[in-house]
């Protein structure tokens, strides 16, 4: 199967081209599309066979449930039930946007979407291309990230094609994703909401709206969130984290020297402020350490660039674990395989 690529300007959407994409969804095909987080791989949410193709194309285990993307709040009540007051409150503030909520599922969601669970993960994306695709397809769209399972998530159409060319029907190229990291996933426990995956909506922003937020805690998550795999978001290169502390740059220099001397092609993903110390090494700048948005936007792309350039080892400088830094460090630790 040849994967078709269409280019769409998110600020001036070509509806006739978008209708072609929606036709693929309606006919049970697979379409990769941009969201504000990362590129998603979508199929018709009511068609079990179509959804099965998502798992096949990505080589994703069937026990890893999908996030269902919807266009408006009315759709929520078609796929979920018993929506708690707290969910309504957070939806009001953060939808459309990168917040995924876990709710009791309605019968009309095929089991394959939720990996047989009686709950469903739902989100309303803000990217206009994603929204038009859902609207024209006239169905909710389950969509995991449009990469091969376990690889860094795709933040451009090129990343999608690198992993899935000829495995899917179409890619909508809508440019680089705004955030570059996946959504925050939360579940409700009584009158509290617990973060199962840190992401685009930060703990700090959630806490501005609601005091009963349980922060992300890896130990707490495994049992509640199926599909949590110890190794995820991983480039082919080995990732070594140089933690964010007072000795960071010394550690980066000695680690890099060690791996280089051992014969490994070694690259460094560094804070912009540290680039000046690294002239004798291969390095790529994640961004200024205080600019979490820039760092989030570049993370997956840099991991993929190192792979394309056949690096064996990536020394990754850790950043402060607050705001989006929490999600960035979570993805890095997953890439290493330590959480």
- Shortest spacing between CB 94 and ligand AMP, in angstroms: 16
Residues binding Mg ion (CB under 5 A): 144-145
Select the residue interacting with ligand AMP from 8, 22, 80, 121 (CB under 6 A): 121
Residue with the CB atom nearest ligand AMP in the bound state: 227
Name 188's Cβ contacts closer than 8 Å, sequence gap at least 6. Answer: 84, 86, 87, 101, 102, 103, 194
The structure tokens 């890439």 sit at 335
With CB under 6 A, what is the number of residues at the site for ligand AMP?
A: 19
Does residue 120 touch ligand AMP according to CB under 6 A? yes
Contact by Cβ (8 Å): 169, 1: yes
Determine if residue 131 is left, alpha or beta; phi over 0 gives left, psi from -120 to 50 gives alpha, anything else beta. alpha
239: buried, middle or exposed (CB in 10 Å: 19+, 13-18, 0-12)?
Answer: buried
* Residue (233 or 259) nearer to ligand AMP, CB: 233
Q: Indicate which of ligand AMP, Mg ion, none lies near residue 301 (CB less than 5 to 8 Å, by partner kind).
A: none
Q: Give ∠ CA 23-140-220 in degrees, rounded to 5.
A: 140
* CA neighbor of 240 nearest in space, from 222, 260, 217, 221: 260
**Pairing relationship of beta strands 40-42 and 31-33 according to DSSP bridges:** antiparallel
> What sign for the dihedral angle of Cα 67, 143, 28, 62?
negative
Select the residue interacting with ligand AMP from 13, 52, 83, 117 (CB under 6 A): 117
First-to-last CA distance in the chain? 37
Q: Is 232 annotated as a binding residue?
A: no
Does residue 126 touch ligand AMP according to CB under 6 A? no
Q: Indicate which of ligand AMP, Mg ion, none lies near residue 117 (CB less than 5 to 8 Å, by partner kind).
A: ligand AMP
Does residue 225 touch ligand AMP according to CB under 6 A? yes
Question: Which of helix, strand or coil describes residue 314?
Answer: strand
Does residue 111 touch ligand AMP according to CB under 6 A? no
Chain-centroid distance, C-alpha 28: 23
Question: Which of helix, strand or coil describes residue 248?
Answer: helix
Q: Is 216 annotated as a binding residue?
A: no
Q: Indicate which of Mg ion, ligand AMP, none lies near residue 90 (CB less than 5 to 8 Å, by partner kind).
A: none
13, two tokens: 């959407």
Question: According to CB under 6 A, which residues from 130 to 149 bind ligand AMP?
Answer: 144-145
Q: Is 145 annotated as a binding residue?
A: yes
- Shortest spacing between CB 335 and ligand AMP, in angstroms: 14
- Shortest spacing between CB 280 and ligand AMP, in angstroms: 38
| Per-residue interface string for the shown chain with ligand AMP, residues 175-214, x marking contact by CB under 6 A | -------x--x----------xx-----------------
* CA neighbor of 129 nearest in space, from 13, 278, 298, 44: 13
* Residue (196 or 316) nearer to ligand AMP, CB: 196
Does residue 68 touch ligand AMP according to CB under 6 A? no
Contact by Cβ (8 Å): 156, 175: yes
Q: Is 184 annotated as a binding residue?
A: no
- Shortest spacing between CB 242 and ligand AMP, in angstroms: 27
Residue numbering of the annotated binding site for ATP? 60, 119, 145, 153, 197, 233
Residues that bind ligand AMP (CB under 6 A): 64-67, 102, 114, 117, 119-121, 144-145, 182, 185, 196-197, 225, 227-228
Residue numbering of the annotated binding site for L-threonine? 37, 69, 123, 143, 183
């Amino acid at each position: 199967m040849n994967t078709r690529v269409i280019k769409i300007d998110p600020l001036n959407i070509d509806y006739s081209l978008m209708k072609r994409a929606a036709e693929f969804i309606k006919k049970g095909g697979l379409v990769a599309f941009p969201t504000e987080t990362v590129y998603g791989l979508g199929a018709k949410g009511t068609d079990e066979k179509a959804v099965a193709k998502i798992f096949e194309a990505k080589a994703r285990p069937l026990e890893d449930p999908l996030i269902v993307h919807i266009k408006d709040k009315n759709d929520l009540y078609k796929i979920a039930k018993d929506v708690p007051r707290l969910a309504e409150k957070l939806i009001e503030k953060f939808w459309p946007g990168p917040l995924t909520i876990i709710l009791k599922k309605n019968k009309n969601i095929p089991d394959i979407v939720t990996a047989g669970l009686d709950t469903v993960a739902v989100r309303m994306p803000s990217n206009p291309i994603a929204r038009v695709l859902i609207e024209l397809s006239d169905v909710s769209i389950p969509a995991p990230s449009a990469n091969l399972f376990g690889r860094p998530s795709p933040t451009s159409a090129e990343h999608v094609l690198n992993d899935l060319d000829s495995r899917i029907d179409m890619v909508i190229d809508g440019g680089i994703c705004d955030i570059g990291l996946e959504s925050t996933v939360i579940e409700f426990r009584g009158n509290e909401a617990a973060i199962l995956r840190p992401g685009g909506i930060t703990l700090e922003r959630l806490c501005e709206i609601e005091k009963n937020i349980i922060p992300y805690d890896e130990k707490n998550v495994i049992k509640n969130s199926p599909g949590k795999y110890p190794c995820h978001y991983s480039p082919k290169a080995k990732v070594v984290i140089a933690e964010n502390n007072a000795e960071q740059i010394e550690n980066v220099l000695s680690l890099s020297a060690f791996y280089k001397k051992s014969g490994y092609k070694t690259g460094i993903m560094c804070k912009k402020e540290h680039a000046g110390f690294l002239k004798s090494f291969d390095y790529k700048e994640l961004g200024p350490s205080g600019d979490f948005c820039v760092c989030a936007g570049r993370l997956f792309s840099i991991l993929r660039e190192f792979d394309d350039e056949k690096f064996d080892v990536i020394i990754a400088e850790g950043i402060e674990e607050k705001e989006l830094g929490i999600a960035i460090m979570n993805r890095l630790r997953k890439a290493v395989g330590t959480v």
